[in-house]
Chain A
Amino acid sequence: MMRTKGWLAFGLALLARQAPAQARIDERWPLDPAGSVRIVNPVGTIRVRGWDADSLAVSARLERQAGGGRFYAAGDAHVRKLGIDGAVGTGADIEVRVPRGATVWVKSATASIQVEGVDGTLDLSSQGGSIHVLGTPQDVTAETMDGSVEVAGGTARARVKTVSGDILLRGASQDLGASTLSGRIVVRAAGWQRGGTGVQRGKFESVTGDIRFEGELGRSGVVEVESQSGTIEVRVPASTVADFDVLTIGGTITNTLGASQPRRRSASAGQELRFSTGGGGAQVTVRNFKGAIVLGPK
């Protein structure tokens, strides 16, 4: 009996030693309505929520292991930085509430980043984590190497860059830029019916990734789409007024947006198509080295 108890105690001690202890952090500081927040969390998740309060609240949970990371925070009511310092085995989950108008800077290694309801400027960067933004931030810059990026809602300006991650931009944004090497870009631009003005300025580029632009162009908007070998698909309302300038060196052009059909380039290889659906409208330029280009009604 004593021997059994001894083994039981030994086993429990071993379990207790192996099970990582969790540390929980709940802190709150005053922050100006237009203050700045810098958040770093290498592994795990980062959630940022805008709220109608002049303060910043952080709630974090991290595994406390030997050699693991530690939570830190510093700053004042204008600038506050916080995050996880050092290596974290299984990562940390951080939720931060910030004033809606705050400027938010987030950096991670593999941690996913989610931002919701922040109207200020967002600068989000991750090596491998995904990035999701929901709301109407003034300005968004998002970069991730192989994670995906989704910006939904509406922004005055968004710049998104990935290496192999997919990019989805949807909502009523005015100035959009997306660049990827092998990821896929999908843009769903809302027009005035959904509270937007259509895209006033858009530049979308890839090397091998497909690009699909679907939605409304702003009056006098300028949209450029370029790829080396990905398929480019542009779908706009049939009533769109725009000048289209489309060219491919080694691919094909399919147009169902009007009667105009592509022709062989006179002095060079490839096909080109130029047509207008009315004066004073948007300007759409599409270039593809060897991939297909499809124009059609939405």
Chain B
Amino acid sequence: MMCPDMEATLNEYVDSTLAVLQREAVDEHLAQCTGCRDALAELRRLVAGARQLPPSITPPRDFWPVIGRRIGQRATWNLQRVWWRGALAAAAVLVIALGLYRLLPPSTAHYRPAGEWAGWAAVQADFDRASDDLSHIFAAERGRLRPETVAVLERNLAVIDVAIGESRAALAREPANAELRRFFAAAARQKVELLRWVTRTGES
């Protein structure tokens, strides 16, 4: 298990932004600490993995449940917790963005046959799951946030929920209207982005 005060330092170590003396001190510590060595190896794997990622990724349909299960498991150490929280936010944005993008019309056509939109309900369900999970993170993190920040987030979450509700109601009346889907997509993305602030703010 990594030493609790080494998380930031190890990140800096991997980024090569430590001063020479600090780097030497970390080298000495690593020589004696198995937990930190493991954490360092994990960090390097993450960085190497990130470098090998393609420019864009299309997640499989069952991507979200896997992420959700992993998030549900209690993290055993700080780095995992922070990483998975960030991963959750990133995954949520990815799921929403790619799911919605896939289902939006590529042209300016305002209507498409209803059959083409079979995946739309699934995308909305994905959004609801992502939104719920991120909301749980917000509930868990709110004690660590400044009261002013919580107030801003709550006020704007209320605003965005109204917007999403309006788009949904309009979509219920005209399910094949591509423009309404665009509005729903934009509002959904704004909500996920807003909840992402929570994870980023909590990390800092």
User: Which A positions have Cβ atoms within 8 angstroms of B?
Assistant: 38, 74-75, 79, 81, 107, 109, 127-128, 145-146, 161, 163-164, 179, 181-182, 205, 207-208, 226, 228-229, 245, 247, 249, 265, 267-269, 287, 289-290
Indicate whether B155 reaches chain A with its CB closer than 8 angstroms.
yes
Tell which of A107, A109, A164, A287 touches B179, judged by Cβ atoms closer than 8 Å.
Answer: A287
User: Which B positions have Cβ atoms within 8 angstroms of A?
Assistant: 16-19, 22, 108, 110-111, 146, 148-149, 152-153, 155-156, 159-160, 163, 166-167, 170, 174, 177, 179-180, 182-183, 186-187, 190, 193-194, 197, 201, 204
B17 touches A81 (CB 8 A): yes
The residues of A that contact B22 with a CB separation of less than 8 Å are: 74
A74 touches B163 (CB 8 A): no
A228-B183, A249-B170, A289-B167 known; A74+B194 contact, CB < 8 A? no
The residues of B that contact A289 with a CB separation of less than 8 Å are: 163, 166-167, 170, 183
B149 touches A127 (CB 8 A): yes
* Nearest-CB residue, chain B, relative to A165: B152
B159 touches A208 (CB 8 A): yes
What is the bound-complex CA distance between A128 and B174, given in angstroms?
Answer: 40
Tell which of B16, B179, B194 touches A181, judged by Cβ atoms closer than 8 Å.
Answer: B194
The residues of A that contact B180 with a CB separation of less than 8 Å are: 249
A163 touches B194 (CB 8 A): yes
What is the bound-complex CA distance between A268 and B110, given in angstroms?
Answer: 10
Min CB gap B127→A, angstroms: 16
The residues of A that contact B190 with a CB separation of less than 8 Å are: 179, 181, 205, 207
A163-B197, A228-B183 known; A107+B204 contact, CB < 8 A? yes
* Nearest-CB residue, chain B, relative to A108: B204
A74-B19, A205-B186, A287-B183 known; A146+B152 contact, CB < 8 A? yes
Min CB gap B105→A, angstroms: 14
Tell which of A38, A163, A267, A290 touches B17, judged by Cβ atoms closer than 8 Å.
Answer: A38
A74-B19, A207-B187, A289-B167 known; A128+B179 contact, CB < 8 A? no
A145-B149, A249-B179, A287-B179 known; A208+B174 contact, CB < 8 A? no
The residues of A that contact B152 with a CB separation of less than 8 Å are: 128, 145-146, 163-164
* Nearest-CB residue, chain B, relative to A163: B156
A-B contact list, 11 entries, CB within 8 Å: A74-B17, A128-B146, A145-B197, A146-B148, A179-B190, A208-B163, A228-B166, A249-B179, A265-B110, A289-B167, A290-B166
What is the bound-complex CA distance between A38 and B186, given in angstroms?
Answer: 33
Q: Is the interface of A mostly helix, strand, loop or mixed?
A: loop
* Nearest-CB residue, chain A, relative to B170: A249
Min CB gap A139→B, angstroms: 18
B204 touches A109 (CB 8 A): yes
Q: Which of B146, B159, B182 has the most CB of A within 10 A?
A: B159
The residues of A that contact B156 with a CB separation of less than 8 Å are: 163-164, 181-182
What is the bound-complex CA distance between A289 and B171, given in angstroms?
Answer: 12
What is the bound-complex CA distance between A289 and B111, given in angstroms?
Answer: 17
What is the bound-complex CA distance between A249 and B177, given in angstroms?
Answer: 11
Tell which of A146, A226, A247 touches B186, judged by Cβ atoms closer than 8 Å.
Answer: A226
The residues of B that contact A75 with a CB separation of less than 8 Å are: 17, 19
* Nearest-CB residue, chain B, relative to A181: B156
Min CB gap B25→A, angstroms: 12
A267 touches B111 (CB 8 A): yes
Min CB gap A24→B, angstroms: 22
What is the bound-complex CA distance between A268 and B156, given in angstroms?
Answer: 30
B197 touches A207 (CB 8 A): no
Min CB gap A185→B, angstroms: 13
What is the bound-complex CA distance between A3 and B179, given in angstroms?
Answer: 83
* Nearest-CB residue, chain A, relative to B173: A269
What is the bound-complex CA distance between A179 and B159, given in angstroms?
Answer: 15
What is the bound-complex CA distance between A81 and B22, given in angstroms?
Answer: 13
Q: Which of B18, B156, B160, B197 has the most CB of A within 10 A?
A: B156
Min CB gap A29→B, angstroms: 11
A228 touches B179 (CB 8 A): no
What is the bound-complex CA distance between A287 and B181, given in angstroms?
Answer: 12
* Nearest-CB residue, chain B, relative to A107: B204
A146-B152, A207-B163, A208-B159 known; A228+B19 contact, CB < 8 A? no
The residues of A that contact B17 with a CB separation of less than 8 Å are: 38, 74-75, 79, 81
Min CB gap A173→B, angstroms: 22
